[in-house]
Each structure stands twice: as structure tokens, then as C-alpha cells.
């Protein structure tokens, strides 16, 4: 079954919007971290969709030759893999900061974090 590029992009946009809403509206910082993850994964969907589109429909299309040619044809897919690794690193740092914060405040809710005034 062929899934068209616009529907992939629509899915990606909807996921990204949900993630954005989560970051902006939710007060629980753990949920906020999850929402950021959702945003990154929404981008991954778009990247994979574009990559397949450029490779000519099939995942293996245009990938012969290896080396830089492979990267050229599947740059989007490479970026997906990289972004998954980066997302994991980001969460590790974020949770560490959250734990440091929790030790001071005994809370993970953002309204409790208003001692500094922008």
C-alpha cells in the first residue's frame, strides 16, 4: 500500500502541534519532557516521509553505490537516526536537571518554579 506524502506530512504536523501544545500548556515538567519528545518524533515522521519520497517510493530505491551517494539519497533517514540518539541525550540531561530541581522544591510542577522573575 502506498501512503502519499501529504498524508505523512499531515500526521507529522498534527503530532508536532500536540507536542507544542503540551510544552506550552502543561504544568507537569515530566509531561513537558514527553511533549518535547513527541515534537522530535513528529519531525522524524516528516523526515522519513520526505526521504522515501526522494528515494522514489521504495525504501531501497536509489541507494546503490554506497558511500556519499547513500547519504545523498537517504539524508533524511540518517537525520532520523541521529535525532533519535540526540533525543535520548536530551532527555538524560533534562531528567538530571529535573531531579536536581526536585531536591530543592519537592515538586515537578512548573508553577512552583517562579522564584526568578523573567
Point out which residues bind other proteins (CB under 8 A). 9, 12, 16, 19-20, 23, 29, 32-33, 36, 39-40, 42-43, 46-47, 50, 53-54, 67-68, 71-72, 75-76, 78-79, 82-83, 86, 89-90, 93-94, 96-98, 100-101, 103-104, 113, 115-118
Least distance from C-beta 25 to other proteins, angstroms? 12
Least distance from C-beta 58 to other proteins, angstroms? 17
Q: Extract the C-alpha cell encoding 42.
A: 513528529
Of 48, 54, 51, residue with least CA distance to 15: 48
Q: State which residue, 1 or 66, has the beta carbon closest to other proteins.
A: 66
Q: State which residue, 1 or 93, has the beta carbon closest to other proteins.
A: 93
Q: How many CB atoms lie within 10 A of CB 6?
A: 9
Quick one: 89 exposed, middle or buried, by C-beta within 10 A (0-12, 13-18, 19+)?
Answer: exposed
Least distance from C-beta 1 to other proteins, angstroms? 22
The helix or strand, by DSSP H or E, that contains position 99, with its residue range, turns out to be helix 75-105
Residue appearing with cell numbers 531501497: 60
Q: Extract the C-alpha cell encoding 106.
A: 519537592
Least distance from C-beta 60 to other proteins, angstroms? 18
Amino acid at each position: 500500500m502506498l501512503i502519499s506524502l501529504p498524508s505523512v506530512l499531515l500526521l507529522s504536523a498534527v503530532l508536532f502541534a500536540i507536542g507544542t501544545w503540551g510544552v506550552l500548556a502543561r504544568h507537569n515538567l515530566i509531561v513537558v519532557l514527553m511533549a518535547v519528545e513527541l515534537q522530535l518524533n513528529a519531525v522524524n515522521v516528516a523526515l522519513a516521509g520526505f526521504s522515501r519520497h526522494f528515494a522514489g517510493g521504495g525504501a531501497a530505491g536509489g541507494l546503490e553505490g554506497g558511500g556519499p551517494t547513500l547519504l545523498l539519497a537517504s539524508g533524511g533517514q540518517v537525520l532520523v537516526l541521529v535525532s533519535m540518539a540526540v533525543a535520548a541525550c536530551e532527555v538524560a540531561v533534562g531528567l538530571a536537571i529535573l531531579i536536581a530541581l526536585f531536591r530543592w522544591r519537592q515538586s515537578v510542577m512548573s508553577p512552583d518554579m517562579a522564584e526568578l522573575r523573567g
